[in-house]
Chains A and B, each alone.
Chain A
Amino acid sequence: DTAVSQTPKYLVTQMGNDKSIKCEQNLGHDTMYWYKQDSKKFLKIMFSYNNKELIINETVPNRFSPKSPDKAHLNLHINSLELGDSAVYFCASSQGNREGHFGPGTRLTVT
């Protein structure tokens, strides 16, 4: 069984569009995250949700918004996509301050 899953795996879209990426974890973890990995492999944490409460929110544009319908899901909505949003987005989960379990990633390409 997949521990952390993301859909879609690939997402190609045009500038100005709005898109969503879904994430689900079946590990029973209490915290979920979104990361952005750029072309140089640098990982930037974007959001973290603990028990449905946003606990960190890095300085990302407000075009990005996380939404957590329940403890097992954390979706990422992106409005008015820009070229610079092209990257790989990873969802992850953890139990408290233990290690993170990462999803396979969503490669977003904005044209």
Chain B
Amino acid sequence: AQSVTQLDSQVPVFEEAPVELRCNYSSSVSVYLFWYVQYPNQGLQLLLKYLSGSTLVKGINGFEAEFNKSQTSFHLRKPSVHISDTAEYFCAVTRSGGSYIPTFGRGTSLIVHP
């Protein structure tokens, strides 16, 4: 079985400040890792994914994440946030082999203040 823990339920930050949203996972097999963003009243949109290769993954909207296998983490970062980044962010993990049966974290609400 696999699990995902998003350590912060809410992260307030001022505009243009850097931000890190934390995600830890547990799994007995190799995994793929994903970050999704959900804007108010919308569906989830893929931000970035780690499948293999470079552990530093760049995504849309200036976000990036680093896969750390030894710490079983996949933290999401952005060097300078905008008001428009205010949204719910979900970390998800799935087995690298077999069908896509994801496990989602409980989400982190990023609130960007002017």
Contact = CB atoms under 8 A, between A and B. Distances in A.
B32 interface: yes
B107 A100 contact: no
Interface residues of B, number: 26
Interface of B: 32, 34, 36, 38, 41-46, 49, 88, 90, 94-102, 104, 106-107, 109
Nearest to B51: A98
Contacts of B99: 31, 48, 50, 55-56, 96-97
Given A97-B99, A99-B49, A104 B104 contact: no
Interface in A76-111: 90, 92, 94, 96-105
Nearest to A104: B43
Contact of B107 (A42, A56, A94): A42
A37 to B, nearest CB: 9
A45 interface: yes
Contacts of A56: 99, 101
Contacts of A98: 32, 100
A14 to B, nearest CB: 24
Interface string A51-77: 000011000000000000000000000
A97 B44 contact: no
A92 B44 CA distance: 9
